[in-house]
Chain A
Amino acid sequence: MKRLGLLYLAAQNLRRKPFRSFVTIAIVGLAAGTLFSATLLIGSVDRSLEVGMERLGADLLVVPEGYQESGQTALITGAPTSFYMDGAVLGQVSSISGVDQASPQLFIESMVSSQCCTGHVQIVGYDPGSDFVINPWLAQNLNRTLNPDEVVIGSLILANKGEQVHFYGHNFDVAGVLDATGMGADESVFMSLDTAYLMAAESAQVAESPLDIKPGTISSVLVKIAPGANIDQVSQRIKTTVPGTMVITANELSRSVTDRISGFKRGFIAVDAIVWVMSLLTIAAIFSMIVNERQREIGLLRAMGSTRRFIFRLMLAEAVILTAAGGIAGIFVGGAALFIFKTVITSSLGIPYLWPPILTFVELTFITLSLAVFSGAVSSLYPAISSSRLEPYAAIRQGE
Chain B
Amino acid sequence: MTDEARTDDAMIVLKDLSKAYKVGPSTVRAVDSVDLEIPRGQMVSIVGHSGSGKTTLLSLMGGLTKPSSGRVIIDGINIWNLSDKEMSQLRNEKIGFSFQFASLMPTLNAMDNVSLPSTFSGRPHDNSRAVNLLKLVGLEDRIYSYPEQLSGGEQRRVALARTLMNEPRLILADEPTGDLDEETEADILEIFRRINGEGVTIVIVTHSRAVASQAERALRMHRGHLSEEADVGASRP
Chain A interfacial positions (CB closer than 8 Å to B): 1, 3-5, 9, 12-13, 15-16, 296-297, 299-310, 391-394, 396, 400
A12 to B116, CA, bound (A): 13
In the complex, whether B91 has a CB less than 8 A from a CB of chain A is yes
Q: Which of B85, B99, B119 contacts A5 (CB 8 A)?
A: B119
A309 to B89, CA, bound (A): 13
Residue pair B119, A4 in contact (C-beta under 8 Å): yes
A400 to B103, CA, bound (A): 11
A4 to B112, CA, bound (A): 7
Residue pair B89, A305 in contact (C-beta under 8 Å): yes
Residue pair A13, B89 in contact (C-beta under 8 Å): no
A296 to B99, CA, bound (A): 11
Which residue of chain A has its CB nearest to the CB of B91? A305
Residue pair B65, A4 in contact (C-beta under 8 Å): no
Which residue of chain A has its CB nearest to the CB of B87? A307
Residue pair B64, A396 in contact (C-beta under 8 Å): yes
28 sample A-B contacts, Cβ–Cβ < 8 Å, listed by A number: A1-B125, A4-B118, A4-B119, A4-B125, A16-B106, A299-B64, A300-B99, A301-B116, A303-B62, A303-B97, A304-B92, A304-B97, A304-B117, A304-B162, A305-B89, A305-B91, A305-B117, A306-B92, A306-B120, A307-B84, A307-B88, A308-B88, A392-B65, A393-B56, A393-B59, A393-B64, A394-B65, A396-B64
Chain A residues within an 8 Å CB radius of B112: 4
Chain B residues within an 8 Å CB radius of A301: 116
Chain A residues within an 8 Å CB radius of B92: 304-306
- Convert B197-215 into 0s and 1s, putting 1 for each residue whose CB lies closer than 8 angstroms to a CB of A: 0000000000000000000
Chain B residues within an 8 Å CB radius of A310: 88, 120
In the complex, whether B26 has a CB less than 8 A from a CB of chain A is no
Which residue of chain B has its CB nearest to the CB of A304? B117
A5 to B125, CA, bound (A): 10
Chain B interfacial positions (CB closer than 8 Å to A): 56, 59, 62, 64-66, 84-85, 88-89, 91-93, 97, 99, 101, 103, 105-108, 112, 115-121, 125, 127, 162, 166
Distance from A396 Cβ to chain B, minimum over Cβ atoms (Å): 7
A400 to B178, CA, bound (A): 15
Distance from B168 Cβ to chain A, minimum over Cβ atoms (Å): 10
Chain A residues within an 8 Å CB radius of B97: 303-304
A394 to B66, CA, bound (A): 10
Chain A residues within an 8 Å CB radius of B119: 4-5, 9, 306
Residue pair A13, B125 in contact (C-beta under 8 Å): no
Chain A residues within an 8 Å CB radius of B88: 302, 305-308, 310
Distance from B117 Cβ to chain A, minimum over Cβ atoms (Å): 5
Residue pair B107, A12 in contact (C-beta under 8 Å): yes
A277 to B127, CA, bound (A): 44
Q: Which of B84, B99, B116 contacts A396 (CB 8 A)?
A: B99
Chain B residues within an 8 Å CB radius of A13: 107
Residue pair A303, B108 in contact (C-beta under 8 Å): no
Residue pair B121, A305 in contact (C-beta under 8 Å): yes
Residue pair B64, A302 in contact (C-beta under 8 Å): yes
Residue pair A308, B120 in contact (C-beta under 8 Å): no
Closest 10 CB pairs of A and B: A305-B92, A393-B65, A12-B107, A393-B64, A305-B120, A393-B59, A392-B64, A307-B88, A4-B119, A303-B97
